[in-house]
Amino acid sequence: MDILIKVIVCFLAGAGAGIGTGFAGMSAAAVISPMLITFLGMPAYSAVGIALASDVLASAVSAYTYKKNNNIDIKNGVIMLVFVLLFTMVGSFVASLVPNTTMGNFSVFMTMLLGVKFIVKPVMTTKEKMNSVSAKKRVIQSVVGGTVIGFICGFVGAGGGMMMLLVLTSVLGYELKCAVGTSVFIMAFTAFTGAASHFAIGGMPDIPSLVLCIVFTLIWARIAAKIANKSDTKTLNRVTGIVLLILGVVVLGFNLISALIK
């Protein structure tokens, strides 16, 4: 029975995380961490490590799909990637020093707010307008944005992808599909760095849960990314907003259940 419960929890966690990753470049930890903590009683630090590991292949396969459709800005994304990677390690180390209850709460509100934003105020920027931003301005924004995003990703294992999507669309003026594609490209590397840091500091987590979450997240991320790239911008905004809002509400529910159980 314990094995069956573990499979069901990991499947639902992977499905939610994969859909969020494929559609919005969302970190898998926004869904996986609270579910593993709430229903499997897993320590928060281990749960975040599993979520980040699940993010690696899910983000990579999503990035590949967006790349095939010319929806990744690798050149400008690399600058942000360097600072995100650096501060992901810093954030991961700091996270190991704080209580479990401090981790994982920020991403819930971030998810819901970003979901509402895409529904109420969709991102309709074109690639032509996106490319009109001066190179100097973009470099500065990428450095600052990468620093903040990296720390958040390493610290809570969640929020990084959503913060990145917000920065890319609202600050750097990216077209939505290109923003998501660039986000998952960066997240593949930040997730790997974050997972490696977590495992090095806290040890290996529960292996069956790790494998199950990686597989299920990968499958659903692939499906979501393919659908997203075939959608028009207006529809993608609405779907992305709805997905983020629903996931935010669901995760908030998990957190409330966890609080009641305690």
Whether 91 shows a pLDDT value over 90: the answer reads no
Task: List pLDDT tens digits, range 11-23.
Answer: 999 999 999 899 9
What is the rounded average pLDDT of the residues 80-85?
86
- In 25-134, alpha helices (H): 29-40, 44-68, 74-95, 106-120, 127-130
Q: Pick the more confident residue, 149 or 139.
A: 139
Per the CB < 8 A criterion, the answer to whether 146 and 77 are in contact is no
Per the CB < 8 A criterion, the answer to whether 123 and 237 are in contact is yes
What is the rounded average pLDDT of the residues 121-141?
80
CA distances from 50 to 6, 82, 167, 218, 259 (A): 14, 23, 26, 13, 22
**What are the extents of the domains in the chain?**
2-261
| Proportion of the chain above pLDDT 70, given as a percent | 91
User: Which of 57-66, 69-78, 99-108, 130-139 is most confident?
Assistant: 57-66
Per the CB < 8 A criterion, the answer to whether 247 and 17 are in contact is no
- Give the chain's mean pLDDT: 84
- How confident is the model at residue 35, as a pLDDT? 86
Whether 104 shows a pLDDT value over 60: the answer reads no
Q: How confident is the model at residue 102 (pLDDT cuts 50, 70, 90)?
A: very low
pTM: 0.81
Ranking 152-156, 173-177, 223-227, 247-251 by mean pLDDT, the lowest is 152-156
- How confident is the model at residue 100, as a pLDDT? 53
- Residue closest to 160 by CA, chosen among 183, 192, 193: 183
- How confident is the model at residue 44, as a pLDDT? 81
Task: List pLDDT tens digits, range 21-62.
Answer: 999 888 777 788 888 988 888 888 888 889 989 999 999 999
